[in-house]
Structure 1
Amino acid sequence: MSRIVPADFRPARGLSNRHVQTLLPRLRPLTTLARDTEILNLPDGDFVELAWVRPAPMHEDAPVFVLFHGLEGGFDSPYAREILAAASALGWRAVMMHFRGCGQAPNRLPRAYHSGDTADAYWFIGQLARRYPRAIKVAAGVSLGGNMLLKLVAEQGGDGLDLAGAIAISAPLDLAACADALNRGFSRHYQRYLLKSLKLKIIAKMATDTLPLSLSSYQLGRLDSFWAYDNEVTAPLHGFSSASDYYRRASAGRLVGDIELPTLILHAADDPFMPGDMFERLPTPSDAVRIEIASHGGHVGFVESRQGRLGSWMARRVCRQLQDWASVPRQLHVMTNRPG
């Protein structure tokens, strides 16, 4: 049986264009959502910021939903609010882990985060296993966070994480091909926007820290593609020899055949951040993986119309999957997904 199937997403009428789908969520009112902030210290002396949705479930064994955001995203990203709010409404304990430097304060170390950096998420999931040992846990990742999550579950095998399942949305599973796609046509506008945010953080660090970078602020400003930025900044900051080395080692697509944990991948064929034939470039997914591809949806868009109102199919699909996994008897989760 094929593990790659059509998604049941249908774009709102007149809103099927991939750039409209990508940009529309940012133009709509942000979902109101309260949070408690926690600083989680890491083994290397740095920290990540956790955003716990309020109100939290009263029972310690309430299911836990973890969300990992995309590049330069966070709690105020439209998709994050929609997905976290939907999971919380189902009775799940919902939390987002901000990658280093993406919360309300800059991180402590010169390094930051990248698409294949799984260590912090592994540490965090381990902390959750100790805090809520009896709770079913599911993790989801969006864009960069989705690539990171798939790499993590592939690395850890079926019993290396206390997770019942993983969900990846609009994940750039071939980083080199995605960097190429973002350097063409209208997609260069997305690239420029994201690079501006990344550069501002590096400039701020240059003013206070000694970074292992051989470029000036002027040279940083002239880096006009992800290939150039990742070659001169991401790679040297995180132990890669070049952008090519980083893309090769950090891309999760090469590992989809190794995933043992139940995994759902949601993707739009018209995603402007990615090549249209991305999944044709990747190995055959394992039997644990289900890939749903929509004809439309853009990048982390998936805006639908239900009962005359615009809404997020993505959040609705995530909730449906959470309900499916929560219905599996707890004994089966314990047998197949022991804490690492």
Structure 2
Amino acid sequence: MGMNFKPSFLLKNRHLQTLYASLFRKVLVKNFEIETFTLSDGDFLECYWKKIDNHTKTTPVVILFHGLAGSYKSPYIQGTVKELKEAGFNSVVMHFRGCSGKQNLKPRSYHSGDTQDAFEFIQAVSKRYPRAKIFAVGFSLGANMLLKLLGEKGSTCKLTAAVAVSAPMLLDKCATHINKGFAKFYQKILLKDLKRDLEKKYESFNMKQIISLQRNEIKKLKNFWEFDNAYTAPVHGFSSAQEYYTKSSSRQFLKLISTPTLIIHAKDDPFMPPDILPKYNEISSAVELEVSEFGGHVGFVSGSIFHPEYWMEKRVVKFFYLRA
């Protein structure tokens, strides 16, 4: 199973694991080099590069995909970029449409199964650095998207290896789970950001015509099922949230993956039930599944409460380092 994650006694709490970094961690990386990447449909992505000081044409590049409503500011992105730089990797955070603080140019946004934008960017980076190895790591929504992309694109995808952390591999089960009990707290925080972004769309587009939702109805959307039914599904061409979840869930793509891929997951992830995990006959021989009892959602903090160690970030970097 590789290096299994074991937290100290006080850090066994799934919510502390999930929230620790956002509560206690300072911003580690500043002064990114910002690239505006133009997509084939005319929209753009902001990609934040952090290169090592003496990089060459063969310096390996790691592309990072953040989670829902995440960005270069997310603690797990900051921490991983810092670790990668110290280990001699160039890294680039590919923001999904509208996630870097600049609004994108279309009524649509991004979603868990939206592999096209990432694929275009991966291929462009690999063309730009034909002699460098290209890796990718996804977190949460970004991890589900990356796993789906690897399964869909097979060997046409120019990645040497990939890591997926805390991927919601069955989206309908996750949307139902996060609408119960204490998990509703996370749902509320995430929805607040998504609803704010959707409200902004009404300033630039005739959204009522596009998704037949009045602006004043946005605040009534109480959970992911409702939000995805009202906006994510129709604006991205799905008939319902259920169709969006079914087609975008990555679990069905795992047996098609041919790129060496590590999936890091915690059974106590508060965003999702443990039964979203694949059975061994559902994954290809290229996929390694590392499941720990504890770790929360994109947490995996070891050490002590006062001297934390970010195990997950080191694990990601080690997986790439062995293949660089």
**Residues 131/206 of structure 1: CA separation in 2 closer, same or farther (3 Å cut):** same
Map 1:1-340 to 2 at 5 A: 5=1, 8-34=4-30, 35-157=32-154, 159-211=155-207, 212-279=210-277, 284-305=282-303, 309-326=307-324
Q: 1:178 to 1:137 in 2, by over 3 A?
A: same
The alignment covers a number of residue pairs equal to 321
Contact 2:8-2:302 within 8 A present in 1 as well: yes
SS of the residue 1:325 aligns to: coil
Task: Decide which structure has greater helix share.
Answer: 2
Helix, strand or coil: the match of 2:297?
A: coil
Query: What letter is aligned with 1:17?
Result: N
Counterpart-to-counterpart distance in 2, 1:298 and 1:307: 15
Q: Distance in 1 between matches of 2:54 and 2:100?
A: 24
Q: TM-score, normalised by structure 2?
A: 0.96
Moved more, 103-112 or 240-249: 103-112
For structure 1, the residue ranges without an aligned partner over 5 or more in a row are 327-340
TM-score (norm 1): 0.91
Q: Distance in 2 between matches of 1:221 and 1:285?
A: 40
Deviates more, 1:213-222 or 1:170-179: 213-222
- Residue 58 of structure 1: how far off its partner (Å): 2.4
Q: CA deviation at 1:57?
A: 4.0
Partners in 1 of 2:89 and 2:217 — Cα distance? Answer: 46
Shift of 1:12: 3.0
Matched position secondary structure for 1:185: coil
Which amino acid letter does the alignment assign opposite residue 89 of structure 2?
W
- Are 2:10 and 2:305, in contact at CA under 8 Å, matched by a contact in 1? no
Cα distance in 2 for partners of 1:250, 1:229 equals: 16
Instruction: Give the CA RMSD over aligned residues.
Output: 1.6
Judged with a 3 Å threshold, the aligned counterparts in structure 2 of structure 1 residues 181 and 236 are, in CA distance, closer, same or farther, namely same
Q: Which amino acid aligns with 2:225?
A: W
Give the whole-Å Cα distance in 2 for the aligned partners of 1:307 and 1:322.
Answer: 28
* Whole-angstrom distance in 2 between the partners of 1:280 and 1:52: 33
- Match of 1:67, SS state, is strand
The share of aligned pairs that are identical, in percent, is 43
Distance (Å, rounded) in 1 between the aligned partners of 2:156 and 2:56: 25
Distance 2:317 2:63 in 1: 13
Is contact 1:259-1:286 (8 Å) kept?
A: yes
Is residue 37–residue 44 contact of structure 2 (8 Å, CA) maintained in 1?
yes
Change (3 A) 1:307 1:215: closer
